[in-house]
Amino acid sequence: MAQVTAKPVKGQKFQLVADTGKHKIVSDQPLAAGGADGGPGPKDLVAAGLAACTIQTLLLVAPNKKWDIQDMTVTVTITYPNGAKADPLFDELIEVQGNLTAAELDAIKRTAEKCPVYKLLFGTKSVTSRAVKK
């Protein structure tokens, strides 16, 4: 089970600290949105989570598959068709350096789609919110 607790930073409009138990992550909004730009925004954190999960999944699988991955960059872009704020499109570009065939690149793509965060974003999901008095 993953659990993260977030709390606002006193004296800041939108800045918060998310605590994962072992690590703390600062999130904020850009200056143009009224924040202090003291950290990535929530959507950036989601994109970063997908990119990180993809790289770690591929690094885990590559030795067993004998893929010659010498270097790798994953870029995740979130766009909203027609300016809508619903139904975002995630575009994940996996750039791999190494001696790889077209078949291996296709296998790398398919393996990336098995990373847990990919499944979290694109699989069946449910979000439940509750508000309670502290």
In the predicted structure, residue 123 carries a pLDDT above the cut 90: no
- Percent of the chain, pLDDT > 90? 83
The structural domains of the chain, with segments of one domain joined by +, span 1-39, 42-122
Residues in the chain: 134
| Residue 88 pLDDT | 85
Cβ atoms of residues 16 and 25 within 8 Å: no
CA distances for 122 relative to 27, 73, 91, 116, angstroms: 23, 21, 12, 10
pLDDT band at 83 (very low <50, low <70, confident <90, very high): confident
Tell me which fold the domain 42-122 belongs to. Answer: GMP Synthetase; Chain A, domain 3 (3.30.300)
pLDDT tens, residue by residue, 50-73: 999 999 999 999 999 999 999 999
**pTM (2 d.p.):** 0.90
